[in-house]
Amino acid sequence: MTELLRIDGLKKTFSIANGLFGRPLTLTALEDISFSVKKGETLGIVGESGSGKSTLGRCILQLLSPDQGKVLWLGQDLTKLPDEEMRRKRRDLQIIFQDPLASLNPRMTVGEIIGDPLRTLMPELDKAGRRAKVIKMMEAVGLLPEMINRYPHEFSGGQAQRIGIARALITEPKLIVCDEPVSALDVSIQAQILNLLTELKDEFGLTLVFISHNLSVVRHVSDRILVLYLGRIVELAGGDDIYTDPKHPYTRALLTAVPIPDPRLARERNIDALRGEIPSPINPPSGCTFRTRCRFAKPICAEVRPALEVLAGDRLVACHRWRDLDLEEPIPAV
């Protein structure tokens, strides 16, 4: 398959105020991030809050500028493009936000919200052409055309997210970053939106980067899954491999945190719970950043940062002790 996107050595930091007279502190949100996304696939990105998932999504779209590294779109480095040329690229690169209502302008009608990108990115369309395209997209995401003149407050959370999806799709993009698109929705509505995204991916030939903190959600849509911890990749594998044979202790802990509906299986489950809170990215632990919460940690974990090791195929893992996990009991199916 054609490689659409390649991230190479990405780093992103933020300067944080330190009191009134203190020197600013440096928060490292992303460190040495490298991966690729092929045409037509869905790459899931998972991790706890503070892992750098949303920052990574915004760096991909150049809504944030990375400090180091490359964002290659069809071989062209987006970080080097002038603003005007990058603006034209946005027709191919879109985003669906986490909070559907907060991402919609309350003073604009649904038709104006969905059609607004067309004014900038498809200026060749006249008013009638824009309206026809908006109605067609509303129908594609399950919204009735007669809703076109309503305002966001008249819609439920699930309907509002459908509006956000239609807005992202209206320019016929090649890649969409889905930034936790169902985390603010009820469980039953989550399933509807996930099924809709799967259908739209097939219908429009989309490539997706799907960001979530919930591994059970990511499983339904992802071909491969990238696990982030404190701004670094700790594991990258195919969707089935990550669930049946996790190689990193952090991945295993995330899996065992997913609720199981069967009470009997839940009682028998060997829960490898995460200990404590995620460390501050301003002052991360030495060596392996996960070592302060890992029951497999040894002295080497504090001394040497583990490199991403290539396993079978294109599977990656960054852990000194990953072989020890093979001796553990298998995780019940999620």
Please provide the size of the chain in residues: 334
Residue 329 has what pLDDT?
A: 54
Q: pLDDT-based confidence at 255, cuts 50/70/90?
A: confident
280 DSSP 8-state letter: P
Convert the pLDDT of each residue in 59-107 to its tens digit: 999 999 999 999 999 999 999 999 999 999 999 999 999 888 888 999 9
Q: For residue range 146-164, what is the model confidence (pLDDT) as tens digits?
A: 999 999 999 999 999 999 9
Residue 242: how many other CB atoms lie within 10 Å = 28
Any idea what DSSP says for residue 273? P
Read off the pLDDT of residues 187-204 as tens digits, 9 standing for 90 and up.
Answer: 889 999 999 999 999 999
CA 262 to chain centroid, in Å, comes to 29
- The answer to whether the Cα torsion of 137, 141, 147, 151 is positive or negative is negative
- Which CATH superfamily does the domain covering 3-92+173-246 fall into? P-loop containing nucleotide triphosphate hydrolases (3.40.50.300)
Reading the block at residue 221, the tokens are 């849509």
Pick from 284, 273, 323, 314: nearest CA to 52 = 284
CA distance 230 to 281: 6
Rounded to whole angstroms, the Cα distance separating 258 from 148 reads 39
Q: Tokens at residue 204, please?
A: 């429009």
Q: Tell me the two tokens of residue 44.
A: 């899931």
Do 72 and 19 contact (CB within 8 A), yes or no?
A: no
Rounded distance between C-alpha atoms, residue 78 and residue 168, angstroms = 20
For position 331, what pLDDT does the model report? Answer: 54
Confidence band, pLDDT 50/70/90 cuts, at residue 22: confident
| Nearest by Cα to 60 from 93, 109, 21, 99 | 93
Euclidean distance between CA atoms 175 and 182, whole angstroms: 18
Q: Phi and psi for 155 in degrees, rounded to 5? A: -120, 155
Confidence (pLDDT) at 130: 94
Q: Report the phi/psi class of residue 105: left, alpha or beta, with left for phi > 0 and alpha for psi in -120 to 50.
A: beta
Beta-carbon count within 10 A of 39 CB = 15
In degrees, rounded to 5, the angle at the alpha carbon of residue 281 between the alpha carbons of residues 234 and 285 is 70
> Is 208 within 8 Å of 194 (Cβ atoms)?
no
